[in-house]
Structure 1
Amino acid sequence: MTDTQKRVRWAREYETIYILRPTVKADEAAKVAERIVEVVDRLGGKITQVDNWGSRKLAYKIAKFSRGIYVYVKYVGFSDMVAEIERNLRLLEPVIRFQTIQLRDDVDIDAIEVDAEETKFLPIEEVELEPEPDIATQLGLVERARPQAAEPAEEEAASDEEGEDAETEDEG
């Protein structure tokens, strides 16, 4: 290989989605983001896209939470990077679940251009959790106040008046 030829560094493209506790503070969420950026930079990768999906309902309870804050990160790197990111996510307390998927093989890491706006981790909005109803309420064992329906006699009288108005218009 001559000096004029450039050595291509082939990497893989991955996406990781992690879920934060819904009670997470903004500074804790920022620590998670900083840790991911630090690992990717240290191991020679590039973050290409970050998206904060916000608070969403979980399919099932995780660590007694029925909601979580979803964050999507797309990056290019090498296989050891994925293992290190996942190891760090396991150690961080605000993260309750994560998953990484390989998107593409043989990506030229030097040819990838990164848009600074797309790789910015946005601050997490702190959300007040709504108290969940207790099990008795969920099962319908507790009486709840129900909205009162209109009286049937009033409804019939109102419909009769409308009918009379329609008849007088036809005659006139």
Structure 2
Amino acid sequence: MRHYEVVFIVHPDQSEQVPAMIERYKTLVTGRNGAIHRLEDWGRRQMAYPIQKVHKAHYVLMNIECDGETLAELEHAFKFNDAVLRHLTVKTRKAVVTPSPMMKEEKSRSLTQGDAKVEAPAAAVAA
């Protein structure tokens, strides 16, 4: 079995359906003896250019291990799902389990915002 990195972009009006879509795609891969090594929901983000007059979309990243037939079925599911605006599949040499740069950025951003929130009440108490 080969390793793949799959990113798909969902229409922002369908963001509430993303968890169900992720679950459907997870069962598709794992039901055919595949494995999911990393799954990240990046949330709603600004796109580089509009697609179908939409400027923001919901991004999801999956690192999977599966055979070619399973991958073809997964891409077929993306193609015939109107909520999926775009998808990209890249073959990788090995399983990637470390957080992506997008998630590292989110984590560092949330930590710095958390520090600012902690410092603000301390400054108010000191004043």
Normalising by the residue count of structure 1, what TM-score does the alignment of the two structures yield? 0.52
Post-superposition CA distance 1:83-128 (Å, at most 9, x none):
11110111222211100000027x8xxxxxx9xxx9xxxxxxxxxx
* 1:86 paired to 2:83: no
* 1:22 paired to 2:12: yes
Unaligned runs of 5+ in 2: 100-127
Cα separation, 1, equivalents of 2:52 and 2:21:
18
| 3-state SS of 1:96 partner | strand
Identical columns (%): 28
Normalising by the residue count of structure 2, what TM-score does the alignment of the two structures yield? 0.69
Question: Which ranges of 4 or more aligned residues in structure 1 deviate by more than 4 Å?
Answer: none
Contact 2:15–2:58 (Cα < 8 Å) also in 1: no
| 3-state SS of 1:81 partner | helix
Q: Which has the higher helix share?
A: 2
Unaligned runs of 5+ in 1: 1-10, 108-113, 119-172
Once the two structures are TM-superposed, the CA of residue 42 in structure 1 deviates from its matched residue by 2.3
2:46 maps to 57
Once the two structures are TM-superposed, the CA of residue 24 in structure 1 deviates from its matched residue by 1.6
Contact 1:53–1:70 (Cα < 8 Å) also in 2: yes
Task: Give the aligned CA root-mean-square deviation in angstroms.
Answer: 2.0
Once the two structures are TM-superposed, the CA of residue 25 in structure 1 deviates from its matched residue by 4.2
Name which one, 1 or 2, has greater alpha-carbon Rg. Answer: 1
1:63-78 equivalences under 5 Å are: 63-78=52-67
| 3-state SS of 2:14 partner | coil
